[in-house]
Structure 1
C-alpha cells in the first residue's frame, strides 16, 4: 500500500474499513514485539485483522484457539465464520464437530436459527453421528416448530432427506405418522407410507433411492474392535469377549457370552453385536446371542435352522446373511437370512457349491462368496447372490483369514 504506486502512498491519513481499533493496535504491537494475547472477546476481531494484514501466524493461532474451544452451542457459528474467512482447516474441524455431536447441536439455538438450505444440507449428510434415524427426525421437527408459520412448508423436503425406512416400525406408526405436522401434509404422509412399505414389502426395497436405506456413518469417530470367542492355546473354545479402543490403545474384557464359541460368525446391526453359531468344543451350534454395548449384556435370540461353524456372515439392508459353513458332518451350501425386527431366520437361495471358511463380502447390494473348501478341495470359484457364478481366482484359496489359521480364528467386528 505504501511502497507501490497506489493512491494511499500519497495520503497523510488512511481510513481502514472493517478493522476493530483494539485488534489493529494489538496486531501493530505484535509486529514489533512478537507477542499477542488471544481471548474469547478478541479472537474474531484478531482473525479478521490478521487476514487483512496477511499475518498468517496470528491467523493460524486464532484458528487453533477457536478449534480447541468448539462446543455444540458454538460450532455452527464457528463453521460459518471460518467459511467467511476462508480458514479451511478450521472449517473442516468445525464441520466434523457438527457431525460428531449432531444430537447435542440439534438442540442449540444456533441450529434452530439455521436457514432452510443449511438444515437440508446437514440432515442429508452421510456422516451424522446418530444412534438411530429417529434422532434426525426429532431434530427436524424441533427446527420446524421453532418458527412454524415460516418453516412448515419446508417439512416435506426435509423429510425426504431423512432416512425414514431406517426408523423402527413402532416409531413410524406411533410417533411419525401421528405427528400433527405430518398428518396435515399429503407429501409427508406419502413418505411415511414409503417407509412403512419398506418394512412390510421387502421386495420393493431395491426401488427406493439408495441413500434412504444407507446407514449413516461418522467416519471421524474411531470405532471399537470386538474379538468374540475363539480358541485358546490348548484348543478349547472360549466364551471370552474383548474390546479394543484404538484411541486409548488398550484391550478390555466385556461380559462373556453364555456359550463358548470358536469359528463363530459375527455381525453388527443397529449398534448391536451378534454372535452366530460356531463350535463349543463338542458340537456345531445353531444358537445366536446378541450383545448390547450400552448395557454390557448378552441376550439370546432365535436360533438358525442349521448348525454351522466357519460360515460367512454379512449384513445387507439391516438383515444378517450366513452363507455355508460346516455342520459337523459336511460343508453346507445353504444360506439363511435373519430379520432383527421379526427375530426369525429364513432359508434363502442356496449357493452353487458347499463352502466352509469362505470369504464373504457385499458389493452394490449383492453378496459375493469367494473361495473356501468343502472338506475335500479348496475352491477358486466365486458365488454371487442372486444366484450366479463369476470368474474364478487364478489360484485356489480359502478365506483370507482362515487359510492361515483355519482352526484358531476368532470372530472380530468393528462396532460404532
Structure 2
C-alpha cells in the first residue's frame, strides 16, 4: 500500500506507527520530519521524537537545534518551552553560540515572556549559565538589574562570578561546571605546516571542539619548517623557519575572516627553531638558529609602528625552544644551545627589559611544547639530545611549573613520545598535536585535563 506523508498528518501517522511497531512506516515518517527541520519547529520535533522513542530522529533534531541555536531562540517555540526543557538546553555544552552573554539574554527573554509565572524559576535556571565567563561589566549590570536584585540565590551566583574575576590567583580552587566554557566559545585550534612523510607541509587545518572535526583552511605561500606561529589581532602570524635550504627571516600573516595572506616586514635576523609569543600587544621572536649559530637574541614586533626591534638577549642561546606567556612575563623553556639540550628556563619582564633564571626542569628538553593553564606553565614532550647522539631519547613526559613556588612537578605522561609537538590550550584542556615519535611524523592528537590529570585521545 501507499501512505501519503503530509505536514498535517505526519505526527498522527508516526505515533500510530510507533504504537503498532510498523518499523518501515516509522522510518519513512522520521526521514520526512528530518527534511522538515527548521529553527521554528526543531524544538517541537525534538520533543515529539523523544516522546515517541524515535532515537535517530531525536538525535538529528537535537543536533540541528544545537547547530542553529542562535535562530532557534528567536522563534516562538523557544518562548513556549517549559522550565524543565529550558534547563536541559542551558546545561548543554554543544550549542553553537558566540559567547555566554547570548545564553543569558535568551534566558531573560524567556523569563520576561511570562514574568509572573517564570520569575520563580530564574535562580534555578541562572545556575546553568556560566556566569564567571561573562565580562565584569556585564556582571555589574546584572547586579543592578531589578530581576536579580531581590533574589538571594541569583545574588549568590553573581557574587561567585565576581570573585572569579577579582581573585585570579584563586581560580584553581574556584573551578566548577560554571567555569567550564561551552565548546563553541573556546575558539579554534590551527595546525600550521610541519612535516608529512617526506617533506614540509604547506597546509593549514583547523579543529573545532564542538564538531570534533579537522577541516582544511588554507596553504602557506611556500614551504617552511621549524617556524614560529602566534595569533595577534585575530590573525595568524607565521614567522621565520627554513625552506629546506636556507633559514628565513620572512613573516606572513593569514586573516581567517578574509581568507587572505599578507607579507609582513621581515625580522632583522634569520631564524629557524625559534619560539614566538604575544605579550601585552607586541609579538616576540625568541632564539633559534640562523643557519650558522645558535641564537640568544630576541626581537619584538610592534604592531603600531610595524617594525621589529631587539630587546634584551637571553642568558643562553636556545634553538627548538618552547615559549609561553604567564602572569605578564615571557618564558623561554629548554631548547638546544649547540652542545646539549637544556633543562634551564628563563623569563622576560617587558617592563624592566630583563631576563631572570627560573628553576630548572627535571629533564633536558629540546623541541618542547609549552603552554599555560590557570597560573601554571606546562612543558610537554621533546627530546633530551640531538638525533645524531645515539643515546637521544624522545619524551612523553610532562611537567608543570608553579611560578609562586618556583618549582616543577611531574604530571601524567602522554600516551606516546612526541618531539617537536604543537601544544595549546583550548577551553579547559591542553592539546598535544602531532610531533615525531622516532619513526614517523604523527597526525594523532591527545588532550590533557589538568583537573583529572588524564590524557585522552582526540
Regarding TM over 0.5, the answer is yes
Range class of TM-score, shorter chain: 0.5 to 0.7
Q: Secondary structure at the match of 2:147?
A: helix
Q: 2:130 maps to what in 1?
A: 163
8 Å CA contact retained: 1:241, 1:253: yes
1:84 aligns with 2:51: yes
More helix by share: 1
1:146-157 equivalences in 2 (<5 Å): 146-157=113-124
Shift of 1:395: 10
Change (3 A) 1:312 1:123: farther
- Contact 2:322–2:332 (Cα < 8 Å) also in 1: yes
Deviations 1:293-351 (A, max 9, x none): 345478974335844664568999xxx998544588975543879xxxxxxxx998763
Report the 3-state secondary structure (helix = DSSP H, G, I; strand = E; otherwise coil) of the residue aligned with 1:126: coil
Q: Secondary structure at the match of 1:263?
A: coil
Match of 1:71 among 20, 38, 48: 38
| Correspondence for 1:351 | 361
Aligned with residue 212 of structure 1, among 178, 187, 195: 178
Q: 2: distance between equivalents of 1:290 and 1:113?
A: 47
C-alpha deviation, 1:209, in angstroms: 3.9
Going from structure 1 to structure 2, the CA distance change for 1:85 and 1:391 (only over 3 Å counts) comes to: closer
Question: Could you tell me how far apart the structure 1 residues matched to 2:152 and 2:357 are?
Answer: 39
Offset at residue 57 of structure 1 (A): 0.7
Relative to structure 1, is the Cα distance of residues 348 and 56 closer, same or farther in structure 2, using a 3 angstrom cutoff? farther
Q: Are 1:132 and 2:112 counterparts?
A: no
TM-score of the two chains, using structure 2 as the length reference: 0.61
Residue of structure 2 aligned with 1:385, choices 400, 417, 424: 400
Report the secondary structure of 2:132's partner residue: helix
Cα deviation, residue 38, structure 1: 0.7
- Structure 2 match to 1:401: 435
Deviation digits for residues 218-243 of structure 1 (CA, Å, limit 9, x no counterpart): 6xxxx9874425589999x99x6644
* Structure-to-structure mapping, 1:2-401, within 5 angstroms: 34-173=1-140, 175-217=141-183, 226-230=190-194, 242-243=204-205, 251-253=216-218, 262-264=225-227, 279=241, 282=247, 293-296=256-259, 301-304=281-284, 306-307=286-287, 310=320, 324-325=334-335, 331=341, 333-334=344-345, 351-358=361-368, 367=378, 369-375=380-386, 377-380=392-395, 382-386=397-401, 387-389=408-410, 398=419, 401=435
1:82 match: secondary structure:
helix
TM-score (norm 1): 0.66
Contact 1:136–1:162 (8 Å) recurs in 2: yes
In the TM superposition, residue 128 of structure 1 has moved relative to its aligned partner by 1.7
Change (3 A) 1:380 1:290: same
Within 2, Cα distance between the matches of 1:210 and 1:313? 29
Give the Cα separation in 2 of the matches to 1:266 and 1:275.
6
Deviation at 1:39, TM superposition (A): 1.4
Stretch deviating more after TM superposition (208-217 or 135-144): 208-217
The structure number with the bigger radius of gyration is 1
Q: CA deviation at 1:197?
A: 2.8
Q: Is the 8 A contact 2:218 2:259 kept in 1?
A: no
CA–CA distance in structure 2, aligned partners of residues 278 and 47 of structure 1: 62
Q: Alignment RMSD, CA only?
A: 5.3
Indicate how the Cα distance of structure 1 residues 188 and 245 shifts in structure 2: closer, same or farther if over 3 A, else same.
closer
Unaligned runs of 5+ in 1: 1-33, 338-345
Cα offset, 1:169, TM superposition: 3.5
Cα separation, 2, equivalents of 1:268 and 1:130: 22
Q: Distance in 2 between matches of 1:35 and 1:114?
A: 36
| SS of residue matched to 1:388 | strand
Q: How many residues align?
A: 360
